[in-house]
């Protein structure tokens, strides 16, 4: 079971210049109305909104560790 959806995620924030905690604000665009995921996340520090798509998340090594 994939469980990458959490209340907070850590991503590099372009404004803060480093990894920051991102929170997902309530979706106002109807992304979640059909059971989808809202791609909008906001930096908890500076409030910068970022669109983080599922493809990006899927490409990130969340749980699978690949040792070269
Ligand atoms: Zn949304
Ligand atoms: Zn920030």
For every one of its 68 residues, what pLDDT tens digit does the chain have, with 9 covering 90 and above? 544 555 788 989 999 999 999 998 888 889 889 888 888 899 999 999 888 765 444 455 555 566 66
Ligand having the closest approach to the CA of 21: 2
Distance 5 CA to ligand 1 centre (A): 14
C-alpha span between 50 and 29 (Å, rounded): 14
Cα of 39 vs centre of ligand 2, distance in Å, is 17
Which domain covers residue 53, as residue numbers? Answer: 37-62
Q: How far is the CA of 10 from the centre of ligand 1 (A)?
A: 18
39: left (phi > 0), else alpha (psi -120 to 50), else beta?
Answer: alpha
Does 30 reside within a domain? no
pLDDT score, position 66 = 65
Residue 6 lies in a domain: no
pLDDT given at position 15: 94
Measured CA to CA, the distance from residue 45 to residue 33 in angstroms comes to 28
Interval between CA 51 and ligand 1 midpoint (Å): 9
**What is the number of domains present in the chain?**
1
């Amino acid at each position: 079971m994939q469980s990458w959806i959490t209340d907070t995620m850590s991503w590099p924030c372009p404004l803060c210049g480093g990894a920051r905690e991102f929170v997902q604000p309530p979706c106002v665009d109807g992304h979640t109305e059909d059971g989808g995921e809202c791609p909008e996340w906001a930096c908890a520090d500076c409030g910068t909104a970022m669109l983080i798509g599922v493809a990006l998340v899927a490409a990130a090594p969340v749980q699978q560790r690949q040792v070269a």
